Each structure stands twice: as C-alpha cells, then as structure tokens.
Structure 1
C-alpha cells in the first residue's frame, strides 16, 4: 500500500525537521560563516519529480538539483536516502561522502567543482551515470564495486592513466577529454559504445583491440600519426581524428574494411596525397560493392535493421494510440524475458515451464510463423501458424514488433500478443532464435535475454535425430550454430544477461527458476522487515492490474526492484 509521508511535501524526503534550527539558535552568528553550507530551505527549492520510493510504499521526491549555488558543504544530504538523481554541478564541493547514504541513486552530476578524488563514498548498488568533469582529479580509482555503471564522464581533469575499470561490465560511455593521457590502456573487454579521448597527449592508437562494440570514437586534438589499431572494429560508425599528425593518405587502408563507418573527420591533419589516388577509398566502385553486399548478402545486423525499418514504416501508417505496454516512467520499460538458443535446444519447453510456475508474473507470448507445426505443437499455444499471405498482410498493417527469417520461414512477434499480456498486468516471456534477438534489440523494448544453449554438441545432435523432425542438413546447421551462440556471448559481453546449459533440461530449469526468483525478489539472501512484507504480499495471491518489474541483470548478478501500481 502506498502512503504519503507527512513531511514529504515540505522537504521531499523522509526526515523530521527539528523545531529548533541550530543555525538560528546561535545569536550573533555572522552570515559569512554560513556561506557555502547547504540548508533545508535550499534543498526544498531544488527537489522535483515526485514519485514512488524504491520500496514502492511511499511518495518521495526522486530528483534534486542544486547547480550553481556556490556550495561547499552538503553533508545535510545524508538524510535524503531516497534520491535517484542528484545535480551538484557548478559549486565548490570537495567532499561527496553524503552519497554513501543514498543507496538508490542512479545519476550523479558533480561536474565543475573542487573534487580531488572521485567515488570516495559507499557505492550505491545501481548507480548508472556519473559526471565528474571539470574538477581536479589526478588519478582514477578502482571501480570494481560499480557493476551497474553505464556512463562515466571525467573530462577536464588531470588524469594521466586509465585504470580501475576492469569490473565495469556495463560501461558503454566513457569520456576522458582534456586530460594528460599518453597511452590508451585499461579498457580490455569493456562493452564501450562511445569513447572520447580527445585533447590528450596520445601518439598511437593502441589498447582498443578488445572493444568490439565501439561505435563512436573521438581522438581529436592529439598527436596521432597512424590509423593502425582501428581495424576490425566492425560496429564503428564515427571516427573523429581532427587536428592530429596523420600525414599519409595510405593510412586509410586500416579502416577501409569497416562495414558501418559513415563519418571520418581528418580536418587539420598534414595529409599528403603523394602518388595515392583518393579514388581507392572514395571510389564509386567501392560504394557499388557495398550496395551489392548489403542487397545480395547483407550482414545480420543490416538484415535486422531493415526488418526494424519495415515495422516502423508500417506502424507509423496506422492510427496512433498509447499502448498498454507503455508504462508511466521512461526509466522503467515494459518487462520482457526472452530465452534465446538454437533449434530444439529446449527453449520452448523451458519457456512454458517458467510461465506455468510463475503464472502470477509471466505469460507466454507465441510468435507467428509461416512454417508448418511440428509433431506435438499446437496452434495458439506454441505458435500462431499462418500462411505467408496472412503473414505479409499482418506485416503491411503494422501488426508486428519484430520479424525475422530462419530456415526459409518467416517469424514475427505480434504487437497484439504483447499488448494483451500487458493488459493483464503481466510480463511477456518469449523464445527466439538469434535473428529475432537482433531485430528485437532495435526496438524501444528492453528485454532481458537468457541464452539457453547445449554445451554437449554430440548429445544435442543425437537429440535432434531422435525427434525425427529435421533433415540431415537442418541438423548439421543447428549443431554448427551452437558455436555461433557461444562466440557471440564471449565476444560481446552483456549481449546476453545470463547463460544456461541445456544438456539436462531439469537442471537447466532449476537454474532458470533460481534466476527468475532472483529477478522477482522471491528469495533474497537477506532483507529488512519492510522488504519481507512487501515480497510476501507480492509473491502470493492476485496480482494487481499492472506489475512493474525492474529487472537489472549483469551476467549472474541479478538485482530486482518490484513495484506495485494501483488500478
């Protein structure tokens, strides 16, 4: 049950204001003694975004903005335990120890202050975005405790070495421009998509080999002389090398095979043509080759992007409405659970068992397909089996969220399927091949993906043969795809949120059940009385019209906050 704190509309957090203000009880105190000290009235001015607390039982102010107030002492904020977003930019702060008392903090902006260290506080468990730009930080700290960190800005500091990020397995955006870096290091196997190292002292591009998810790279205003080190970054789209020391056009050979590169900035470089012809890189013949590849043998990502564009185009042609899967908060997308794996690996059976055991939380969402039903499959229970004509008609009327093709047949996750489940206040659980995952990752949905894959290929092949459903070629292809799934999981950390071995289905389900219970908070290792009461109420009985499941997963570390929303 949601309650309103009697103090909440005065100060926006759960604390009691003392009737005696210690600052007012000292007669004759000079005003300059209070300069820079944060008081409750100033806090009240900056509080905004009234919402539910993380426990879901109280209304609290979630955001606090105190930018540009010349603050130097903010210790009073240790009382504000429910804050999720804290803005402290443009002040004179040199101590952030109060953040240790904010376990639910998600975003922190402490740029333009007087900090000489960072993360010098007890880590909030789900802290995602941090900005420490424009401070006086001389070196980086060990951030092993910050598993959920996705964005870290350290521009305009005095940092000479990148370190301490090895365990930041969620970090996708890192910016260290205007520092004193002389080499690139300490970034091994991070899932970075955006990396800004501009305005440093770099001379070579090294240390980027393992950043296979990198999409946007800014190395402008350095002393780089070669593009060596940029090759084999197949997802790289933007490279900014403005104002460096690149003198040979032949350096472009290192990046000419990057399939998605669309922006290359070489302004203010001493590039000399010599005997090279610019046509070797900008040749119309090259672009024709790219067009031909994308048309006749497109990479999987291009196929998924085209499928997504098709859904968007046809969806925009339909009457627009607010979907049942649209939740009140932009920070909390509609919850979906996707089991991913090769053909007949057990993902269908596991999906059904999950939905049966956790029927107060999940409902199975069958996909539409143009293939015929296998022995034992039922229409509307396992799939919606439709003709190609009916599938194309649904496609052209915007009925699908995501579509893909596998083994010559079309598959699609229907919009009405997901919306009907959302109307019941439940999360959607589906199973897909990797082609469907690539398409679904382009949508605004943010599912949790669990890879279910057989590790014993010989046993898996025997299972496929015993079913009597597949040809020899289909079996060979399915077995070969096992290595592909495992390679994707290894090469792209975070692409799947967990991996489960399906050699033994009962053991696989036991592991899945443990993961799901961790998702739902049904078996936490240690909880307070309030949390126990909330879990006991939410784990039994009838589910209210909407249940919002905020599932935060990273490999085997699973965290969950469950919030009930009234009818």
Structure 2
C-alpha cells in the first residue's frame, strides 16, 4: 500500500511538472506565489492579498479567475498573452505583467480601484480606450510597438506614464492630464508642443528622439527635471523656452548639436541660473558667477574689467612722471566730477562752474564714438571720434577711464587731464554713473557731485522738447533718475553732494557754494 501511495504521489508530481512545462498554472504553483495575509476588501475574510510569480514560463493563468481577493499581482517575465482572469479580481490595485507576450492590454473588465499597471516589454501595437479606469495613476508601456498615444482622455488620476522604446512620432492625446512623471524616450518624436497643457509635469524624459525645439516645455512651473540627451537641438536660443521655469534643477543636453557651439557651457548656465545639474555634471556657484560675469556682468565688474584693460595697455607704453602727480602723496590732484542722467544739466553746470572759477578749473571733454547732438562742438563738448580710433586709443593706453552707455563708448583721456594739470589747474568733467565706477578704480580722488532732476515729469517734457531722442531713449533716461537716487540711498558717501537740477539757476548757486567751501574761499 505504501508503495502504491508513493507511486501515486510521483505520478501526480509528474503531471504537475508536465503542466508547468506547458506553461499551465496550477493550484500548487499558484500557492507558492501567494503571500501577505490580510482582511479581504469587504472585511469578512482573512485571505492572501498578493501574488508574485515572476519568471515561471507561464502561458495560461486562467486558474487565477478564482482568486478574487487579490489586490496586488506580479506575473512578470513569463509568456502570458491573455489576462482575462483579471476580470474576476474586482479589488486589484497593482498589476505587473511586464516582459510577457501581450499583444493587447486591458482586455478585461476594469477593477474599479486599479491604480498601477506595468505592461512594459510586451508586443502591444495599439493603446486602448481606458475611460473605465478612473483610478489609474501609474501606467508603464515601455518597450512595446505603440505608434500613437490615445485612450487616456478620461484618466484623470494618471500621474506617471511610461512610453519609452516605442514607435511614437508625435506627442498627442495627453491634454490636461495630471501627469507628473513622463517618459517618452527612445521614440521618433520631433516636436513636444503637445506637452504644453501638462501643467503638473515635474519630470520628463525625452532622450533619444528627433527633437529640435524646446517649444512646448514653457510655462511648466512645477517642472524639475528635463532629459533631452541625444536629440537634434542645435541653437542656444532654444533655451529661452525653459529659462523661466522656476523649479527646473536638472537638464541633460548631451549629444545635441548645440553643445558644439563656443561658450555653450557658460551660456547655458547663464540662461538657466536656477539649475544645479547640467549634462550629468553638478553646476557650481563659481560657474554661475563666471557665467553672469561673462554674459551680464554687474556694473562693478564691468568697471573693473575696463580699468584692468586701461592699466595693462598703459603699462606697455613709455612711463614718465605725470603732471597730475603732486609732491605730497596725501594731497591728490583735484578733480570735480558732475554726474547724472541724460541732458539733466550737468554739461551746462560744468561749463558754467569752469567759467566762474577759471583760475581753478578747466573743463576736460571726454572722447566718444557717438555723433554730436545739435549745438555740441567738437573738442569743446566732446572729442567725437570713430569706433576704430577709440579702440586704437584703448590699445595705446590713452584712457584713464572708459565706459559704454546707450550703445556708444566714452573715455576720459590721460592727455586731457595732464594738459590741464600742466597749467596748474584742476579738471572738471561730467560723466554717467558707468564712467564714475570706472574712474573710482583709479588713483584719483575727485569730488563727485550727483546732479539729478527730482521732477521726473518736467524732466521727461524737457527731453521731448529737445527733439534729439526716441521714445525708448527718453523712457530709459527717466528710469535712470530713480537708479541714481537709489545708488545714493544704498551707498552713503558714494557721492560727495547731491544737487536738484529742476531749476538750473538754483542748482548752479548750490554747486557754486559747494565749490567755494571746498576751495576755502
């Protein structure tokens, strides 16, 4: 009897083995995959909630139709092509059927609480209508044969979608979905304008496509990570589409043509100062500072660079004792600098103060590349020269201070100051703030007088009456009034005095008094 019983068990085991070889799931094998005891969804029974049977060479799992209480099922790495048994699992929450032989998906009655589904690594050619899957939050369809995104219109809970390694040529069918994580890598996509309505997007992988423009990625205020490796983005100007993304931290543009452009690294960092990682490399604070200093340097950096160039250029020239060098090092050569916005009266005040105190001051005209305004005279108001002449003077170390304003170059020449100092007189000049910053880098210690109109409306009308300036130039000049006043407020002592030029006669009286006090008259 014992021998017969043993023979029966062996025969039964043999049949089970044969069934498994044929890919037919039996109860014994199913039992091996059951785990996680817990209460059933109705709360009336104590049942197994999870089933895990990966890599079992399974083809037929219809026996699972009776496992109605399953909430999580993993059957990856098998040979399954039919999931109709899921129709009998009303409480299923997670389903992993990746790496099988599925040619269709969701061909079963929808479990109303199904949230996460993985159908990656199958043979699915077409997406189905998923209107019934209202709870679906995660859908992975990577490594399939899908050519078009469709059927997701009613998936209002979908936050993660994977469609990498498919045959997509366009981004469509995702309008207004709450997707936060999106993977569309390794497709044939050329444009990403279809992403524009995904306002909750946080991470997007678009690597290994044929994308040449970043249009469609703008206005995603929650977007943190963008992977565009191995695409066809060729112009640095494309970064403008994502420059205003406030939370963008990681960007990958490896293997794109724009990387071959000169200055790519710092230019990309400057455009996207908010990022912390670019092309799989951490972006340091020092690199961000370098980028800003190169592409939009702060005024003080511009002044320092201008001063560096002027000093280095002058060192290469023959040196001599300058007329502006006084015997007492503690008593620097006297200079008076009037500064303020465009046509605010600083020219008139400079010339008038030099006439009143002609035994003390002489006006020193700057060199400029701009053309003369009506009423201005060469060598009296400015030395009007060409850009080429200006550049030659810079190379020859002829300037004490240089600056740019309004698209033109200005410079205070050493010879201008030295010729006045040779006569035993002090130099009076008028500059914009950019020139003052440059002059403050030198060894001279002028008295800086800020002359600025307080009545901006009156100042604007004055600019219009001159007929010399365009509307944008007038608006810029008026805006600089506040800039000058802000500098005076932020940096106490930066100017030695401030004079209101709303009324030039009153301004001259005040300036004249300042000069008398400083001259001890």
**Alignment TM-score, normalising by the size of structure 2:** 0.49
Q: Answer with 1 or 2: which has the greater Rg.
A: 2
**Alignment TM-score, normalising by the size of structure 1:** 0.45
Higher helix share: 2
